[in-house]
Amino acid sequence: MNTTLVNLGPFAWKGNPAADIPPGHWQPTGQPSGQFRFKNPVQWVRGRLLSARIFVGLYVNGKPRWSKRDLVDLVKQVWGHEASFISQDGLWTNRGKLKPEKSVQVVLLNLDGNGNPICANQQAWETATAQLADTIRKKFKQKLVVLDVQANGRTIGTGLAT
């Protein structure tokens, strides 16, 4: 069995108030932007996939101090496994007022480069990711770093490194 994903192009449906196209049957327009083919068999990870997100502010005492590159370098050195980084703007409370701040999410999957678990169980995963979050908090001189641990995309626990 071959699996093919295709771009059907933009479409509208009856009752879609945001569409500039009159209601009716969908009509693809333009050429598909690309096709993707998966080799068969596709390797699926079965069972429970543990993941974690660590929310890190880049300011100290209300002033920019760190960069995403600093965080990438620290995670590479301390974690030693694959990770993704999402840059974002955030708000934090200082003396009762919301202040803007650049921040980064570190996204971790309990998978090594070969699709095998990094940690054998949930407790080991929580311990390892909590240690990373606390190391980031200390190095980046943060009052708080938030750790969101998930299983199959659903939060199973939240840790506050303070």
Structure confidence by residue, pLDDT tens digits, 103-144: 999 999 999 888 889 999 999 999 999 999 999 999 999 999
Contacts of 2 (CB under 8 A, 6+ apart): 37, 40
pLDDT given at position 114: 84
If one counts every other C-beta atom within 10 angstroms of the C-beta of residue 59, the result is 20
Contacts of 64 (CB under 8 A, 6+ apart): 58, 102
For the chain, the domains span 1-42, 50-161
CATH for 50-161 is 3.30.70.120
Q: Which two tokens stand for residue 122?
A: 């949930």
Structure confidence by residue, pLDDT tens digits, 15-37: 555 555 555 565 555 555 555 55
Contacts of 30 (CB under 8 A, 6+ apart): 9, 10
Percent of the chain residues topping a pLDDT of 90: 56
Q: How many CA atoms lie within 13 A of 158 on its CB side?
A: 7
pLDDT given at position 62: 84
